[in-house]
Amino acid sequence: MDIKPIRTPEDYQLVLEMIDDLWTSKENTKDYDRFEILTLLIENYEREKWPIDLAHPIEALKYYMQQDGASIEDLGAILGDLTLARKILDKVVPLTLPVIYQLYKHWKYPPVSFLNPYKLISDPVGEGLP
């Protein structure tokens, strides 16, 4: 196997073409092994060349809840406080580690989705942060 790291856009294009030829390889064959190795090289190059930022934590939470059909009331029940759930979704109070843990414990939402820093807005009712 004559495989080398992807260092340039030309290398990247060449590996994409190589993978195209190996796409239908059968498992447990040399061609399939080559396919897997080239795929890993592509993943690594793309991750370094075009890193993807984490989503906004609150938008990620809203997305997960929408996908699961979960309501704000469901979030409030998990957190034991509907007002807290509203304030989190309104970006008035931050997601804390205990809250992130509850999201993982009850809904299996990946904690990394909520670790990107974000700014809070002013409390619309003037209560301030708890």
pLDDT at 126 over 70: no
Q: What is the mean pLDDT of residues 37-49?
A: 93
**Averaged pLDDT, 53-69:** 93
pTM over 0.85: no
Give residue 107's pLDDT band: very low, low, confident or very high (50, 70, 90): very high
Long-range CB contact pairs, 92-96, < 8 A, 24+: 92/120, 92/121, 92/122, 92/123, 92/124, 92/129, 93/120, 93/129, 93/130, 94/118, 94/120, 95/57, 95/58, 95/61
